[in-house]
Amino acid sequence: MKNIVILISGRGSNMQAIVDAQIAGANICAVIANRPDAAGLAWAAERGIATAVLDHKLYAGREAFDAALAALIDGYAPDLIVLAGFMRILTAGFVNHYAGRLINIHPSLLPAYTGLHTHERALADGVKIAGCTVHFVTAELDHGPIILQAALAVLDDDTVASLSSRMLEQEHLIYPQAVRWFVEDRLKLINGRVHVDSPAPAAVLIAPPVL
């Protein structure tokens, strides 16, 4: 059994997808938010999952907040920490403390479009394929070893809202899958790259039919 702590800042839709997946061997022992009004807290509590709030606004800086967050997380003896819409840039000390057991999902095909406003930037550039990426977190923002990706064909009439909505559906598929592989000890970090014990697809491509 692997203990998993999930960090959120809002409704935590990816957190919900992971919980709903009912992954064998996964013990979702806590959901922690940095915002007291995070809607995902009530959802988790209704399902009997322990919840906690650590308001980042009450701390003098990132280092102080991250130290308090790590102390809170470590109380659950986690094997894996999952960032599910956790809108904080984490310090190198925090990330290194959880090296190899801290994962995130990003709404682009990394290493493209790191940071914010990924869909706006992709549409502005006229890309034909967009996607999302589950990766291990490192001190360099959105550059950790890639675990799994999903890709979508960008439609001619896509807007930021429509592309984001369709992409979220893919996030809800690949994030639980990545967590499942971790729980099953199928992920290996070798020379900075992720190897998944077979059988396992490296990516999922979802595209409209060619007319």
Catalytic residues: 106
Phi, psi of 72 (to 5 degrees): -65, -45
Beta strands 51-53 and 80-83, pairing class: unpaired
Does 62 appear as a known binding residue? yes
C-beta separation of 108 from 150 below 8 A: no
Does 54 appear as a known binding residue? no
Q: At what angle do helices 13-20 and 160-183 cross, to 10 degrees?
A: 40
Does 88 appear as a known binding residue? yes
Does 14 appear as a known binding residue? yes
**Which whole-number Å values give the CA distances from 190 to 100, 142, 146, 194, 195, in the listed order?**
11, 19, 12, 6, 7
Does 90 appear as a known binding residue? yes
Does 163 appear as a known binding residue? no
Does 12 appear as a known binding residue? yes
Does 147 appear as a known binding residue? no
Q: Where are any strands of DSSP class E within the chain?
A: 2-8, 26-33, 51-53, 80-83, 102-106, 129-136, 146-153, 187-190, 193-196, 203-206
Question: Which two three-digit tokens encode residue 23?
Answer: 């992954």
Residues annotated within a binding site:
12-14, 62, 87-90, 104
Residues annotated within a binding site for (6R)-10-formyltetrahydrofolate:
62, 87-90, 104
